[in-house]
Structure 1
Amino acid sequence: MDLRFSQLDYIKPELGAEFTGEGVHFAVFSAHAEQMDLCIFSDDGAEEVARLPLPKREGDIWSGYIAGLKPGTLYGYRAHGPYEPANGHRFNPNKLLLDPYAKQVFGELIWDDVLYGYGVGSPEEDLSFDERDSAPFMVKGVVQDTSFDWDGDQTIRRNWTDTIIYEAHVRGLTMQHPKVPEKLRGTFLGMCSEPIVDHLVKLGITAVEVLPIHYFPDDRYLTEKGLRNYWGYQSLGFFAPQPRYLAEARILEFKTMVKRFHAAGIEVIMDVVYNHTAEGSERGPTLSFRGLDNLSYYRLSPDDPRHSYDTTGTGNTLNVSNPMVTRMVLDSLRYWVGVMHVDGFRFDLASTLGRTRHVEFDRDGAFFHAIRQDPVLAGVKLIAEPWDVGDGGYQVGGFPFPFREWNDKYRDDVRSFWKGDEGMAPRLAERLSASSRQFNHSDRGATASINFLSAHDGFTLADTVSYRDKHNEANGEENRDGHSNNHSDNMGAEGETDDAGIVDARMHRRLNMMATLLLSQGVPMILAGDEIGNSQAGNNNAYCQDNDISWIDWDGHEDDFLALCRKLVALRKAHPCLSPERFSNGVEGPNHIEWYGSDGTAMDQAAWDDPQRRALGVYVVARDVDADPPDVTDRLFMIFNAGGEVEFTLPSSEEGTVWHRLLDTRESEKFLDAPAEEKIVVHAESIVVFEGRGE
């Protein structure tokens, strides 16, 4: 083929490598480059068969069109420009660069000093200049034809009030499932295989939140220790799926997964990492953004642009205050919605995305405005991890609509309540009522809080009741990594035990915690495997453990606990008073919540101030305010008792109603619909739920 640029008859505004049907249009952003070379490679990626300077530059976008070029072509870029680290510039045309807009990545990154723009080990390392060619060690982009027969499939757009999220890892969920075909384990096709989908549907899950699937390499220091970047929070390609999750190296496998989940009524939410990249600090490799335009793509120290400005703890911070970097992030989000049909995103370290040019967090920042005004993105699910490691980075409750937020206060307070810590009754009340203190402002709804007991980062639910201390020795950091304050309790033995009493006590506490999650207002999120008692042997930072530590142990499947979890999800779905759209808004409003002591009277301040209080009664009501007169459509009374056995007087309900017991977590038959007496005995460490019905 004659590899040379020709003229397009029309303007093509897209960035990346776009197949037109008759050729490929290439476009890449760099404000400070002096020349941009497109490199074409042989089918095996071993030989650079052409190096062509992009012929057109307009508005800092370099572009060119090659007629006759087909999907499947391997390519990369080389950027010419100043190598002036003191001024923030690190151009080095000897380093092959991955297109930030590449839709697929070919090959494996082979770690070698040649991947660095400077001479590793030389004096003042990152100020030196390395002239070796990195192409033999680099991954390449793959030109794609992104068409796919969606057969009418669209994003689901389920109401937040009806949402139950399941956080899962592609490999972790499937690698050890005995009914997933072996060749599909660890892949998107394995994740959407019939056994997995059937499990999620029976559990009652409405949305799967998938840990990062954007292309990411394994960190060099991990590969040198024989470990792997398992979680994937080191993105390098924001448009390309991780190759190791593809069974046959076809991006349509991701689309197939989404389509199958949608057919089962399950939304797909992607965990995305737009706050930093895999290139690390100024001493990191030159793989893409650093070589294309370090000064534009990254935040640099205002005092010394030689150095990165890091609010993420990873060495660098993506500069979303630059409009073209913001465009890249928005283009990526729109691509995954419009082309790949995902239903939403969870933003890792999202406080970084809200930092202004002067690096303070601003809930009215340009990035949030850009998303709110985007007609594609404003309607999908958006979830913030509301913190980073920079000054003022902890922002739980501080994000604007339409963002929902991970609520770590929920996790910590629910764990502490059931552990028996003093003074937790008021905090539990906050968590049961959608954490109104954090989120009931700026006209935010009661679904702003994403409630969770455990997530990929930290103890699993089973480990929360089995370990007092973290056990991260396998990570190779002498157990120094990971959180030390886990609000956990081993309940009498550290780790696995044959003591039947301890095993039983742990199961009951897990049940109480899972029931609390599904009886709380807000949006519940379940960590994959918690419903079957999965353990990571006390490792609370398994980011590098692509092995039995992190993979769900389906052979240890707890059928009894799973059956209880299914019933808890069904109970939640049957009672709209547990998932109101708005916060409690008065006795005459559409939803209302009240708090009671064991004597059947409303809690007063003295009761709230009692640090020894372990039992709390909760009365929740849903009301049809449009009826004449307004009509109560759903009412529950729930007792949460983390202490010893206590007699509880049920509050008097409206005339003509009777309380029926629906759940008692300490009874042998936990879900039993039966009329209740006015006074009942509440077992130690238990939850009891009653429904008020007209007779």
Structure 2
Amino acid sequence: MPHDRRHPRLAALPWLLAVALVAPLAHAGDADSLADCDRNEVARVLAPAASTDTAARGYWLDRHRIAWPGAPMHGRFALYRSATASIMAEPGAPVRGSDGRWPLVQDTAPLPDALRTRFAFIGDGPRLRLTAGDEATADLLRDEVWLVLEDDRGNVIASTRLQHPGALDDLYATAASVDAPPLGPLLGEHASSLRVWAPTARDVSVCLYDTADGPATARLPLVRDDASGTWSRHVDDDLFGRAYAYLVDVVVPGTGVVRNRVTDPYSVALTADSARSVFYNLDDADLKPAAWDGHARPAPLASPVDMAIYELHVRDFSRDDAGVPAMHRGRYTAFAQPDSHGMRHLRALHGAGITDIHLLPVFDLATVPETACAEPDVPTAAPDSQAQQATVMAVAAEDCFNWGYDPYHFNAPEGSFATDASDPATRIREFRTMVQALHAQGLRVGMDVVYNHTTASGQSPRSVLDRIVPGYYHRLDAHGVVERSTCCDNTATEHAMMARLMIDSAELWVRHYGIDSFRFDLMGHQPREAMERLQARVDAAAGRRVELIGEGWNFGEVADGARFVQASQGSLQGSGIGTFSDRARDAIRGGGPADNGEAQFAQGYANGVHYADNGHGTGATRDDLLHAADLVRAGLAGTLAGYTMEHADGVKRPLSALDYKGQPAGYAAQPAEVVNYVENHDNQTLFDINVFKLPPGTTAAERARVQVLALALNTFSQGIAYFHAGGELLRSKSLDRNSFDSGDWFNRVDWTGQENHFGTGLPPAEGNAGDWDLMRPLLRDASIVPSPADIAFTRDAFLDLMRIRASTTLLRLRTAGDVMQRLRFHNTGPDQNPVVIVGEIDGRGYEGANFQALLYLVNVSPDAQTVAIPALAGRDWALHPVHRAPGSADDYPYDTRYDIDTGHFDVAPRTAVVLVIE
């Protein structure tokens, strides 16, 4: 009897009567067997631990080898196990509560290269070997195990728990292989199955539910495969639309033997607020909008450097758009409203040259209520009042907004962006509707993904991975504590099954949702090798190149390759994977991204370093200006390590020899390996940064011109271009330096260009209150607030910049060789005019150049400047056709004067202009 898929939550389960159980765990009609499926808590302790000490200073290196860094060398070593977590290992007394003892021998054989590399970070100490067979190791990993150093009488000298990922990866490598069976829910025409990797579990069963929030109607056992450590269940019926959850019996260090009720890490669908997983086949027609299969997608890019990315948050896009019907505001479906203000704006951006919309996280999030979020009633108050932020932050934990860097389930769409979060199918269809609508406009769709951390670990109710395989999926320190350098609970993508989860997840989004590119949060915390495998998988799934970019910052416990070769700025050369460059970003803006106090007034190249002092005593010198100019040129040259130019001291050197805060300014091997940007969702917006840095009295119109300068330098840079939504509209967050949970109020964007939301209250106290005294006079200054005309000027100038970039491959050179051969900077060295950047690109014989040569001049000074470049004399330089076209930014002074006889160029104040030879 087929299920009624129009109302899957209400359909009956006639197959239950016919199911034959394959293990004697529980029975469908037995009320006692279902109690754990319906209890209020997500965990039940079956046998409490005798010891609450959770420190794990020892390591399984593989299935036989063990290391104990820092432990004494003298004595005898042994493993003790307990099926009931009853071990007590107190110094000076024999071990109590053990079910068995396994002696260990000293291991003096050299480690295999792979193990020596993987565990190089753990330090010196005894290295031991378990002489029992593989089966013994597998059994030990399912019990409580202590590594003990004893004296000759059997008294404990020292003891520790063990970190087990090395052994699990060694024993169950087949589970992570390319050919391994898929994990998660699988549905055939008349059959269904589940598979979950839980090698340390004692038992695994699945609870089945007729409805999203009703009681369980069945509990079925899963069967363990000893070779892979996976548990699976097959039934001869179609479970489409049924909710389910796992019951996992597992030893949790310091807690005991626990029965966890937990959702599926491979969930493709969820009930509201992620309470239960749902059986779905993503290929089912009921989960697809009309004409989804075979819908027209933008053509593949000729090169990754053709990407011009616009970073956007789904809720920001339409929450305040009066052109979107109320039910669609803040939702996926807002992108299917072609006449909205937001969609008109996106069409204009694409028409000018934006290729990709990169969506901030849209996978299932942990901290946004999906069905009953709070809507604060923000008061009308003074521009520097605390009242607005107080109202917003009072409900921040329950409101509808969060950036989304709080992953819960990686493979299912977030429900708060759906018009009906209570229907698991709706979010899938509407996510696809969003992608389809953007594709229909010619825009590729990128996803911001967060595989480097989870929101929670351990026995937290929001922990999924750690409640199935405790101690495996997260990166631990030397004491067995989860590392949190990313912000939250760091995942360990160097472990085989965490890498598999990341790679499988990315492939799912490409295969089933038509995702064209990815932006990886804190990608430097992931191995290069795993990212390269992911690249191969997503390319194969798409049948085309899927561009990968990410944050390649080098910090934390993995810094400088401490645990593996990172997917970081300094380690991705030759991979074709792009990393965000902070070099030109900081040089253009000044200071760093997380400055506070007086440091926020430190100026950069575009906003006045040395040449337009802002009165805050930063003491910038001409040398500082010269160095900033060289760093800007480095960005314009694609941050290429091998690009050679004349530096400020007059010496020609590669960019790898140019200093950036003690690091090489040039690090990329190819232009596709660098992402150029001057702002994104993190930290203050570009407009707000310039509020601090520009001299007092700078008019709103001049602030708009400075915004365009920064955007121009970004646009002219070789590599991938990346822009934050609203930057072209002078978007402000009222000086908020971290608006991840600051609600709709501080994250608004006005696509009509009537206001930019500066001076709408002091930003939230957390992270900002220490600087409120600095912020108050700025927020009160009405002269800073841009008029609609200032916003329109910035928007139109940005569209011109995009049209210019799209008009020629000279601003998108394909290879490092092309950049080195064709890009030349003039006005360099110690005698330069440092407020003017002049870059010439040779277009002769270059495919797609469309010009014999291109020249950009950027004058960041508030005064007109003249530069003399004899090498450019005698050539027919003319304004780029975009500058001459009707509809270009009307007030922009494109009338740069050029003396053909002398090579003198007169450049208007705060102007970026492009000249070409046809």
TM-score (norm 2): 0.61
For structure 1, the residue ranges without an aligned partner over 5 or more in a row are 110-138, 355-362, 469-488, 494-500, 598-602
Q: In the alignment, is the contact (CA less than 8 A) between 1:24 and 1:69 conserved in 2? A: yes
- Say whether 1:240 aligns with 2:420: no
Partner Cα distance (2:667, 2:837) in 1:
29
The match for 2:262 is: 97
> Counterpart of 1:247 in 2: which secondary structure?
coil
TM superposition shift of 1:151: 3.6
Mean Cα displacement is larger for which, 635-644 or 215-224? 215-224
The match for 1:451 is: 676
TM superposition shift of 1:625: 6.2
The match for 2:834 is: 613
- Say whether 1:218 aligns with 2:367: yes
Structure 2 vs 1, CA of residues 436 and 264 (structure 1 numbering), >3 Å: closer, same or farther?
A: same
RMSD: 3.3
The match for 2:438 is: 261
Mean Cα displacement is larger for which, 256-265 or 395-404? 395-404
> Counterpart of 2:469 in 1: which secondary structure?
helix
Q: In the alignment, is the contact (CA less than 8 A) between 2:576 and 2:672 conserved in 1? A: no
The match for 2:867 is: 648
TM superposition shift of 1:671: 4.9
Structure 2 vs 1, CA of residues 325 and 12 (structure 1 numbering), >3 Å: closer, same or farther?
A: closer
User: Which of 380, 384, 398 is the aligned partner of 2:550?
Assistant: 384
TM superposition shift of 1:156: 4.1
Q: In the alignment, is the contact (CA less than 8 A) between 1:218 and 1:228 conserved in 2? A: no
Partner Cα distance (2:579, 2:394) in 1:
31
Q: In the alignment, is the contact (CA less than 8 A) between 1:78 and 1:92 conserved in 2? A: no
TM superposition shift of 1:648: 2.1
User: Which of 223, 237, 242 is the aligned partner of 1:55?
Assistant: 223
The match for 1:539 is: 736
TM superposition shift of 1:286: 5.4
| Cα deviations by residue, 1:260-290 (Å, 9 ceiling, x for unpaired) | 222222111100011111114x474453111
| Cα deviations by residue, 1:419-452 (Å, 9 ceiling, x for unpaired) | 2222311111111111113899999321221111
Partner Cα distance (1:625, 1:680) in 2:
26
Give the aligned length: 601
User: Which of 251, 269, 276 is the aligned partner of 2:453?
Assistant: 276
Q: In the alignment, is the contact (CA less than 8 A) between 1:660 and 1:673 conserved in 2? A: no
Structure 2 vs 1, CA of residues 586 and 207 (structure 1 numbering), >3 Å: closer, same or farther?
A: closer
User: Which of 142, 162, 169 is the aligned partner of 2:313?
Assistant: 169
User: Which of 820, 823, 826 is the aligned partner of 1:593?
Assistant: 823
- State how 1:435-446 maps to structure 2 within 5 Å: 435-437=639-641, 444-446=669-671
Structure 2 vs 1, CA of residues 16 and 369 (structure 1 numbering), >3 Å: closer, same or farther?
A: closer
Q: In the alignment, is the contact (CA less than 8 A) between 1:104 and 1:141 conserved in 2? A: yes
Q: In the alignment, is the contact (CA less than 8 A) between 1:345 and 1:382 conserved in 2? A: yes
Q: In the alignment, is the contact (CA less than 8 A) between 1:7 and 1:65 conserved in 2? A: no
The match for 2:282 is: 146
User: Which of 320, 335, 349 is the aligned partner of 1:203?
Assistant: 349
- State how 1:10-89 maps to structure 2 within 5 Å: 13-58=181-226, 59-85=228-254
> Counterpart of 2:745 in 1: which secondary structure?
coil
Partner Cα distance (1:438, 1:184) in 2:
50
Structure 2 vs 1, CA of residues 575 and 654 (structure 1 numbering), >3 Å: closer, same or farther?
A: farther
The match for 1:360 is: none
TM superposition shift of 1:411: 1.6
Partner Cα distance (1:270, 1:374) in 2:
13
The match for 2:388 is: none
Matched to 1:565, the amino acid is F
TM superposition shift of 1:399: 2.0
Partner Cα distance (1:389, 1:47) in 2:
47
Partner Cα distance (2:278, 2:450) in 1:
22
Structure 2 vs 1, CA of residues 381 and 585 (structure 1 numbering), >3 Å: closer, same or farther?
A: closer
- Say whether 1:291 aligns with 2:467: yes
Partner Cα distance (1:256, 1:606) in 2:
56
- Say whether 1:668 aligns with 2:891: yes
TM-score (norm 1): 0.79
Greater C-alpha Rg:
2
Matched to 2:479, the amino acid is D
Q: In the alignment, is the contact (CA less than 8 A) between 1:274 and 1:348 conserved in 2? A: yes
- Say whether 1:492 aligns with 2:635: no
The match for 1:566 is: 799
Partner Cα distance (1:650, 1:666) in 2:
27
| Cα deviations by residue, 1:515-551 (Å, 9 ceiling, x for unpaired) | 2222222211111111222211011200002312112
- State how 1:602-641 maps to structure 2 within 5 Å: 603=828, 605-607=829-831, 613-624=834-845, 633-641=851-859
For structure 2, the residue ranges without an aligned partner over 5 or more in a row are 1-13, 23-178, 370-392, 561-567, 590-603, 610-624, 644-654, 656-665, 755-790
- Say whether 1:330 aligns with 2:503: yes
Partner Cα distance (1:417, 1:618) in 2:
16
The match for 1:548 is: 745
The match for 1:482 is: none
Structure 2 vs 1, CA of residues 200 and 57 (structure 1 numbering), >3 Å: closer, same or farther?
A: same
Structure 2 vs 1, CA of residues 671 and 163 (structure 1 numbering), >3 Å: closer, same or farther?
A: farther
TM superposition shift of 1:418: 0.7
Mean Cα displacement is larger for which, 269-278 or 14-23? 14-23
TM superposition shift of 1:456: 0.4
Structure 2 vs 1, CA of residues 229 and 299 (structure 1 numbering), >3 Å: closer, same or farther?
A: farther
Structure whose residues are more often helix by fraction: 2
Matched to 1:595, the amino acid is F
TM superposition shift of 1:77: 0.9
Partner Cα distance (1:347, 1:226) in 2:
27
Structure 2 vs 1, CA of residues 367 and 449 (structure 1 numbering), >3 Å: closer, same or farther?
A: closer
| Cα deviations by residue, 1:335-393 (Å, 9 ceiling, x for unpaired) | 11111110111111111112xxxxxxxx4x34534544765268211012112641464
User: Which of 315, 322, 340 is the aligned partner of 1:178?
Assistant: 322
> Counterpart of 1:447 in 2: which secondary structure?
helix
Structure 2 vs 1, CA of residues 286 and 165 (structure 1 numbering), >3 Å: closer, same or farther?
A: closer
Matched to 2:548, the amino acid is L
TM superposition shift of 1:71: 1.9
State the identity %.
21
The match for 2:607 is: 419
Structure 2 vs 1, CA of residues 390 and 348 (structure 1 numbering), >3 Å: closer, same or farther?
A: same
Partner Cα distance (2:605, 2:439) in 1:
37
